[in-house]
Amino acid sequence: MSGTIADVSSTGGPSRLLGIGAYRPHRSVPNAEIVDAIDSTDEWIRSRSGITSRRFAGPDETIAMMSLAASRQALDDAGVAAADLDCVIVATISHLLQTPAVATAIAAELGATPAAAFDVSAACAGFCYGIAMAADMVRAGTARHVLVIGVEKLSEITDPTDRSTAFIFADGAGAAVVGPADEPGIGPVVWGSEGERFDFIRQDAYWPVDGFGAADDDPENSKPAHTLRMEGNPVFRWASFEMPKVAMRALEAAGVTVAELDAFVPHQANMRITDTMARQLKLPDHVAIARDIAEQGNTSSASVPLALRRLIDEGETRSGDLALLIGFGAGLAYAAQVVRVP
Ligand code: UT7
């Protein structure tokens, strides 16, 4: 044996979110436009999910376009130049081209080349997975600045006649810049997966079985070739009763009490899940609770950064506040961490 390998850890340190950006598609779709195809009502959708309208992307609002818009806002907010990014992570389940990773195209378009770039498939937990990895990279010295994007165009892979998904899923993008800090601004992640429940939320087939998804759609048929399916009620119960325990563990791991918390930003799955989690966590009244789902729908990996951006824009939370993030969904995969608001 000869030589030694240098350890990168000597060059790393604490990390924090430096900036947050969001992109919401132009088209807002009220429940009235959804209900006929699923034999539902505006009242049922509002009372069961809290959704009054959602955003659906148009043809020009692609995964890359939405990601770029959210990323530019995040970089501006952070005061970081794209050229200073060392890594770009894109969390998504609706970029229908399996390879190469859309993150590489986004990095190039931003001017971040030669940043490392890759996609993550962890569905509604994807953004929180990305933040966890970014924080570890900065801590270890593997990267100094990391861009984490959560982006979805779920309208392309949702069956408009499926009663359990058509009114829930929507489109949008959120992004965060993670970088060095004087003291820890991203708490330890509590994450995991429960693959025994693999079938609870999933595509109904592999993309290539009889086409490649939306790109090969039969124009006579309003359904995409392959769509998401969800066992809504079991997922609802799992999220409502198991996820508060994960959220509590993330608080403990960060050494933060609920009384010290300023904001709660759960994945925007269903307003009733958010309410149940808030009750189980016994959140004090001063904690701002993200309720972005009402006018945005459930955007899977984009929902946490979109919801955090809205809380900041509406003055419900401020720079330096402590926010608890939690993502959960297909897999079933989950991740939670406490962060300082940028
Ligand atoms: O983002 C990834 C993670 N996803 C989630 O966390 C979503 C979790 N699940 C949910 O949010 C909820 O399960 C839904 C909102 C999808 C459904 O709400 P639910 O309270 O679980 O409804 P359900 O499936 O238990 O159905 C209750 C009733 C049924 O009728 P009966 O048997 O009580 O007469 C359904 O047939 O509601 C009926 N129903 C509907 N009615 C009108 C189901 N879907 C619809 C609909 N419109 N779209």
Coil/strand/helix, residue 180 = strand
- pLDDT at position 224 is 60
Whole-structure pTM value: 0.94
Give the integer Cα–Cα distance in Å for 198 and 200.
6
Of all protein residues, whose CA lies closest to atom 26 belonging to ligand 1?
Answer: 233
- Three-state SS string over 19-47 comes to EEEEECCCEEEEHHHCHHHHCCCHHHHHH
> 176 CB contacts (<8 Å, ≥6 apart)?
17, 18, 19, 20, 21, 74, 127, 131, 134, 147, 148, 305, 342
- pLDDT at position 217 is 47
Residue 68 has pLDDT above 90, yes or no: yes
Q: Is the CB of 213 under 6 A from ligand 1?
A: no
Q: Is the CB of 163 under 6 A from ligand 1?
A: yes
Helix axes 271-281, 232-254, angle to 10 degrees: 40
Question: Mean pLDDT, the chain, as a whole number?
Answer: 93
Residue 214 has pLDDT above 80, yes or no: no
Give the integer Cα–Cα distance in Å for 278 and 298.
18
Pocket test for ligand 1, best of 45, 127, 164, 275 (most atoms within 8 A of CB): 164
Alpha helices in 194-316 (DSSP H): 232-254, 271-281, 293-296, 303-313
Residue 141 has pLDDT above 80, yes or no: yes
Of all protein residues, whose CA lies closest to atom 39 belonging to ligand 1?
Answer: 163
Q: Is the CB of 326 under 6 A from ligand 1?
A: no
Pocket test for ligand 1, best of 93, 233, 240 (most atoms within 8 A of CB): 233
Q: Is the CB of 118 under 6 A from ligand 1?
A: no
With cut-offs at 50, 70 and 90, classify the pLDDT of residue 175: very high
Catalytic positions are 124, 267, 298
